[in-house]
Amino acid sequence: MNILTICGAANKTRNTASMLRSAFNGAMSVPDTTGEFVYLYDLDFKGCVGCHSCKLLDESKFSRCALRDGLTPVLEKAVDADVILIGSPIYFSDITGETRSFLERFFFPATTYNKDRAPTYPKRPKVGWVFTMNAPGEFYKDFLGGLVSMTSRIIGESEYVMAYQTQQFQDYSKYAATMFDVDMVKKRHIEQFPKDCEAAFAMGKRLAGK
C-alpha cells in the first residue's frame, strides 16, 4: 500500500500540518505500507497553464501534465499512489493557492472532453482530505462536500475530516483579532483538537486498510 500525503499549508507545525500528520501516521500504522509526506510550499511550481497537451491523442502526452517543474515528481507519485491524503486550511472560503494549483495539475489530465467524461488514470486511489478553519464548521460544509464529491468522481473514493474554530495565535492580544472568543478558542484547542487529530488518524488507517 503506497501512501502519498500532500500538505497545502505554509506552516509545518500548526493545525493543518499536525492534523494531516495524524492522518499519515494512521495510514502508516497499517502493515505493509510505504509513504511520503510532501509540503507544497517547499516546491517551486505553478498551476495549470491551459496548454491542453494532456488532451492530445498522443500516447506520450495524453493524460500527462506537460509542465516540468517542482511538482512533476509529485504528480507522477500521485498517479501511482494507493491512498492520497491532502490537507489545507481554508482561506477566504477556499483551499490555499498551492493546494488549488496542485489540484489543477492533478485533476485536469485525469479528465477528457469526451462525452462519457471517464477518468483517465489507471488507478482509483482512496483520497482523504483534512481541512482546518477558524470559522464555525457549518460555514463551509457545502463547499467541502462539493470538493470531496468532485475528487471522488475524478480521482477515487474520497472523504474528509475537519477542525473548525481553531486556535491561530498563542497570544491573541498581539494581533488585530478582537472578533474571536479567545477563551472558547483556547478551550477548544485543548479539548477538541486532539479529538480532531484522532479522527484524522482513524481516517488514514481506514483508507490504508481497505
Distance of alpha carbon 208 from alpha carbon 35, whole angstroms:
11
- Residue 112: C-alpha distances to residues 49, 64, 118 (Å): 16, 12, 7
Nearest to 44 by CA among 65, 10, 70, 7: 70
Strands 34-39 and 83-89: unpaired
CATH number assigned to the domain comprising residue 184: 3.40.50.360
Question: Mind listing the pLDDT tens digit of every residue in the chain (210 residues)?
Answer: 999 999 999 999 999 999 999 999 999 999 999 999 999 999 999 999 999 999 999 999 999 999 999 999 999 999 999 999 999 999 998 999 999 999 999 999 999 999 888 889 999 999 999 999 998 878 888 899 999 999 999 999 999 999 999 999 889 999 998 988 999 999 999 999 999 999 999 999 999 997
DSSP 114: S
Q: Which domain, by its residues, includes 143?
A: 2-209
Cβ contacts of 99 within 8 Å, gap of 6 or more: 6, 8, 40, 86, 88
Confirm whether pTM is higher than 0.85. yes
Q: Domains in the chain: how many in total?
A: 1
pLDDT at 137: 78
